Each structure stands twice: as structure tokens, then as C-alpha cells.
Chains A and B, each alone.
Chain A
Amino acid sequence: MEEFNTTVRISGFALSSLMFHHLNSDADVEGLILGESVGEENCRITDSQIDHIQFEHTINIQKHIPCHKLHSFYSNVGDVSEEKIRPILSDYQEENVIGWYRQRRNTRQQMTFMEQVVHQNMRKILSNRELVFMLLTPSQATASGSTHRLEFSAFIWHSSQYINIPIFVSNLGNLEQQDYWRVSGTCPSLGQSEAVKQHRTQFFCSGDELKEVRNISSMNDDLLGEMQKVCKEVEKSERAVEKLQEDLKELKEAIKEHSEKNETQKHASPDEPKENVLLCSALRTLFPDAPSLQTQTLTVQGLPVLELCCNTDHNVDIPTKLPLILENQHTRKKDTAPRLRKKCLVAGYSQRLKRKRKTNDTSESASDSGSDTEIEMNGQNRSISPTF
């Protein structure tokens, strides 16, 4: 008969560090948990026939690796890929992954469906049957916001279900602190015995100091010194990270300013429409003697303003860009009513329209543009209105 007896242990520092990760984020956070699993088999025979074998399993959470964003190691449907876990682990070994964690505010201490799917896939990928899922759920305990609560527990898949396992926070208090003896026993013989006097030097240094006390104090001092050194390095690294984040912020702002400036320069006068260079070149080619067709401005009555002609040579290569124009040019050279065309140019639009109706009963298509009207009046059947 097997009993499942698993405990999860975490140090107060590791738990605080997890809380710290979530406090610095508005959203949910998640990451990997590293540590070691220690199993011990305790065989107890309660009677001659039945063996109770108790497996005592301790999972020690030693550190966590926070993920910078959610869904770092799994897809939207919960598929876990080893390639995605590798970069998160970086230098750490995959064997040390003993689980993963998620922190979500104002939710229940219950695994969601997605979390269950991810956990099962993690178990397959990492071939760790005893993988732990640690769930931390902070919430507000009072309406005023004066009191806050954090609940946490671990989940393990066992016997086809998820079992909730308490997390034990290892601390100084749970290690028995022995008391000092303040009084000696009342037997002077012990203090004056030869055996004790002979072996005294093995325990005491010159004077009254105990060798053991000196040794352990010296080791502890060195350990604290080591800690101070690492602390200084951590402090330097914190400032370096802060400085880089500041630099990035400044760079992003500078880039934003620059691109905003470029944008405004591009659209210098948004109200003015851009010149249709192709149309201008086409009109100049087709009607070289009609300057009014090169104007970009009409009066309110629709009369072209000849003074505002486009005089720029746009250097458009007509054969390549506007081949149809050349075809038309060729045909138009056979035109027999240039005079009529000129008259139309001077007349107003309404008059042009009247004439169009008169003479273009047979024309196939009518268009509203001035230039098209001219062309049609020449008796051309083919609609050669350029499409822009």
C-alpha cells in the first residue's frame, strides 16, 4: 500500500521574490520554478502481514525565472515547446525545472483549463512526473484598500487528478533553537575531575574561549562578508539596468519625435492637392498649343486661369509612361476641325456642353472632364479618355 506524502518547501526569500515580480506588473505573470526533488522511502510494518510503505517526497523550490511576457513557452492552445523553454532557462539545466508558476489577481485558487493543458504538456516535454504548478492569487481584503491578501498553493498531477499541496515556508522559527544552560549541575566533582582537566585543551583555546565558537563565528563572518560582496555587485547591476532602461526610454522618445517631424514635413500643405504630373505631361503632348489646358486653376465660373499655368517640364518619358497618348496623337494629326476646338476652349463649360450635345449624338461615351469634351467634339467615335 502506497501513501502519497509530498510537501513543497520554499524559503521566505524566494516567496517574497515571487511576490515582488507580480507587484511590478499590472497583468498576470508567470515563469519557471527551479529546485530539487528529494524522495525518501519509509517502510513501516504495522503488523506481520501488511507493509505500509510511505514515500516522503520533498520538493524544494530554490529559485524562479520570471518570464517577460505571458505565453512565452506555450502557444495559444497550450502546446509547450522545448525550443521556447531553452532560451528562458539560458544557463540553467532542464533537469532543475521542477515546475512553473502563475500569478493572477482576484481569482480563485483553482487551476484553469488552460493551465491544466499547459501543465500536462509540460509534464510530457520535461519528463518530470512530479511537476509542480504554483498558483499565487493576490486580492484586496477590505473595500478601503487598507488590507491585502495573497493566497498560494501548489498543484500536482497524481492518480489521474490534480492534488492541492500546501507550501511550507522554511524559516528560522521552525528550526529548534536550543536554550543555553544558565546554571551548572551541582556536582563539583565534574568540574574538578582529572578526565575533564586533561581533555580541556581540546575544547578550549588559551583563556576561556571555546574553539568551536571561534571556528563557527569565523566561518559565519566570512559568509556575511561574501554576502556583502555579492550585494554590492547586485546594487551595481540594478543601477546599470535602470540606466539602460532610461536610455531606451530617451531613444524611443527621440525616434518618435523624429518620425513625427518627418511626417509633418512630408505633408507640408495637406490642403493643396499634389500635381498630377502624368496628366500635365499628357495634356502638353496632346495639346501643345493650348496653354489653358496646362492650368491648374479655374475661376468660380469654371474658366481656366491662363496666368497660373504649369511651366515645369516634368521629364516624363511619354513612350514608356503614356503610350496611348502617342497613338492618339498620331490619329489626331488627321483631325479636320482644329478651329472648332479652339473656340470651345474659350467658351464656358456650359456652352461646351451644349455643343457636345449637338454634335455628339453618335459618340459612344460622354465624360464630364473638359478635355474629354474637346476630344469628342472632334468627331472621334472612340473613347480615348485617359483614365487616371
Chain B
Amino acid sequence: SIVLHIMAVSAVHLESDAFLVCMNHALSTEKEEVMGLCIGEVWMSCVYEVDTNRIVHIHSVIILRRSDKRKDRVEISPEQLSAASTEAEISFEHRLADMTGRPMRVVGWYHSHPHITVWPSHVDVRTQAMYQMMDQGFVGLIFSCFIEDKNTKTGRVLYTCFQSVQAQKGSEYERIEIPIHVVPHEAIGKVCLESAVELPRILCQEEQDTYRRIHSLTHLDPITKIHNGSVFTKNLCSQMSAISGPLLQWLEDRLELNKHSIIKLQKEKERLTQELASL
């Protein structure tokens, strides 16, 4: 009889433009954890029908809205993640198809650990384990930022990839390390760009929802309402200053850079075309 050893994921390949979006998201706030979904495909290679090698290829990410926001460090429960990913798959189905026409799907999740160690907490490991029950190849990524070494005055950012494993039935879940490589992808993909500019829109929507809920309370007097109105203004201004502004700046700079690249590449193309013609 042939025994199939289905190994856990052997490695994760994260395209650099997807990494860019994750990093943008993780660095957007140091006050709370942010999360999102990883979109891609799983490549499997079977060696002698015994060992299965699974490589998870992440092409892009989707930024998720936090359904309940608390000021302290919020753990992302499996239910939250499940609800968010179902919503994402429905809303973003049209975006999930790759440019090459290959169907993409949710292959993992990522979240940030601001001011906290990169290793997953017990809750993180449990959340990951729940998802792995539905999909063995599901992987978790964590981005740790806003860490500073007070002695050397050096800033630090870390990222890790993990899955969960249960030593024995009934025992605690533990994390296992999954090697992750960031694969070069010089041009930024369409889905990645669209995901990147989702962030300010999501933040704005969250703020509007919070404000409307408060504003609809009937017992508030006009002074309170005026105060809340200015809080809304202040919060939106913070978003424009910290997120929309710098993001717009980066987009404009990227456009400039590409325009210069196009001119250079065009000249090179003309030169090579002439060279080929003369041969």
C-alpha cells in the first residue's frame, strides 16, 4: 500500500508587491493590530507519490475591516477572520482572478503586531489552527513594527510565517516555522495597487459608521452633537494627514519614476531595434 505523507507547507513565496501592501498596512497605525487576507495559489509537487511538497505562492493581499474595534490590543478571533474572509471572497471575487487568467483564492492571513514581538500569541496560534482544519495549506503571516532598540537607536521591522500543529490530540496548539521568501516583482500588479488604495477608503468608512451610530442617538443635545462633529472632522483630518496624503505622495512619486523609466527603456528599445535591423 502507498502511504501518502501530506506534509505541511514547505515554503511560502511572497511576491514583493504583495509584501509592499502588507507593509503599508502594518505601518499605518501603531495603536492597534491590522489584518488582511493573502491571495494566491498553492503549487504542489509529488515525489514518487509519497512526499507531497506544498509551496504557497502569494500574489496579492486584501485589507480587511475590523468588525469590532477596541483601543487595546485586540486578538483576532477565528470567527472574526472567517466572517471577514467570506465577505472578502464575495466582494472581491472579480479581483481574485489573476492577470494570467489563473484563479486565485485565499491562501492565508496576515496581521500586525505593533510594539509587540513577532511571534504569534496563543490566540493567534488557535486562530491559525482553526483555519487549517478547513484548509491544510492555510498560512499565517505576522508583521512586527514600531520596535526600537533604545540603546542603539535603531528601528526594527520583523515578519514571520507560521502554521499550527498539535503535538498530541487534546494538547495545546503550537506554532511551526514555515520558510518564507520574498520574490522580486519589480512592477506592481493591478490587484496590489487596488488593495493599497483601499486603506484610506476603509478607514474613512469605519469613521463614518462610528459617527453615524453616535449621531443617531436621540438624547444628545446640540452642544454634544457639535462636539462630535468636530471629533469627526479631527479624526478625518488625521487620516488625511497620516494615510491619504503620504499614500497620494507615494503614488505620484511612483508615477514620476515610471515615466522616467519609460523614456529610458524606449530609447534602449530604439537602439536595439536599429542594431537588430543592421544585422
A residues adjacent to B (C-beta < 8 A):
11-17, 19-20, 23-25, 62-63, 65-66, 90-91, 109, 141-142, 144-153, 164-167, 169-175, 177-185, 190-191, 196, 200, 203-204, 208, 210, 212-213, 216-217, 220, 223-224, 226-228, 230-231, 233-235, 237-242, 244-245, 247-248, 251-252, 254-255, 258-259, 262
Contact = CB atoms under 8 A, between A and B. Distances in A.
A254 B27 contact: no
A203 B276 CA distance: 71
9 contacts: A16-B23, A20-B20, A150-B157, A166-B154, A179-B231, A216-B236, A227-B200, A240-B262, A244-B269
Given A172-B239, A238-B258, A223 B156 contact: no
Counting from the closest, the 7 A-B pairs by CB-CB distance are A12-B27, A173-B31, A146-B177, A11-B246, A191-B221, A237-B258, A210-B229
A16 B20 contact: yes
A240 B258 contact: yes
Contacts of A208: 215, 225
B238 A177 contact: yes
Given A148-B158, A216-B233, A241-B258, A262 B238 contact: no
A20 to B, nearest CB: 5
A102 to B, nearest CB: 15
B277 to A, nearest CB: 10
Dominant secondary structure at the B interface: helix
A231 B197 contact: yes
B179 A144 contact: yes
Contacts of A169: 27, 30, 145-146, 155
A305 to B, nearest CB: 40
A282 B45 CA distance: 71
Given A142-B177, A173-B29, A213-B233, A63 B253 contact: yes
A169 B145 CA distance: 10
B214 A172 contact: no
B27 A230 contact: no
B229 A23 contact: no
Contacts of A180: 210-211, 214, 228, 231-232
Contact of B272 (A166, A227, A245, A252): A252
Contacts of A241: 186-187, 258, 261-262, 265
B229 A203 contact: yes
Contact of A152 (B155, B223, B243, B253): B155
B185 A233 contact: no
Contact of B160 (A146, A152, A196): A146
Contacts of B269: 244, 247-248, 251
A165 B238 contact: no
Interface in B101-129: 114, 118
Given A23-B19, A171-B29, A145 B279 contact: no
Interface in B193-232: 193-194, 196-197, 200-201, 203-204, 208, 210-211, 214-215, 217, 219-232
A171 B231 contact: no
B92 interface: no
B249 interface: yes
Contacts of B131: none
Contacts of A242: 187
B138 interface: no
A248 B265 contact: yes
B232 A224 contact: no
Nearest to A242: B187
A158 to B, nearest CB: 14
A53 B179 CA distance: 52
Contacts of A238: 187-190, 193, 258
Nearest to A252: B272
B155 A151 contact: yes
A376 to B, nearest CB: 51
Nearest to B99: A239
Given A171-B28, A255-B276, A150 B228 contact: no
Contact of A149 (B20, B157, B249, B253): B157
Contact of A24 (B16, B158, B226): B16
Contacts of A175: 238, 241-242
Contacts of A13: 24, 27, 246-247, 249-250
Contacts of A11: 242, 246, 249-250
B27 A171 contact: yes
A151 B154 contact: yes
Contacts of A190: 221, 223
Given A227-B244, A238-B258, A255-B275, A146 B161 contact: yes
B251 A182 contact: no
B190 A234 contact: no
B173 interface: no
Contacts of B219: 183-184
A220 to B, nearest CB: 5
Nearest to B255: A234
Nearest to A12: B27
A145 B180 contact: yes
Contacts of B232: 180, 210, 212-213, 216
Q: Which of A141, A179, A237, A254 has the most CB of B within 10 A?
A: A237
Contact of B248 (A91, A183, A226, A251): A226
Given A63-B253, A172-B29, A244-B266, A235 B193 contact: yes
Contact of A258 (B20, B160, B197, B279): B279
Contacts of A252: 272
A208 to B, nearest CB: 7
Contacts of B203: 172
A12 B231 contact: no
Contact of A223 (B189, B235, B242, B248): B248
Nearest to A177: B235
A59 B29 CA distance: 21
Nearest to A182: B214
A12 B23 contact: yes
B249 to A, nearest CB: 6
Nearest to A259: B279
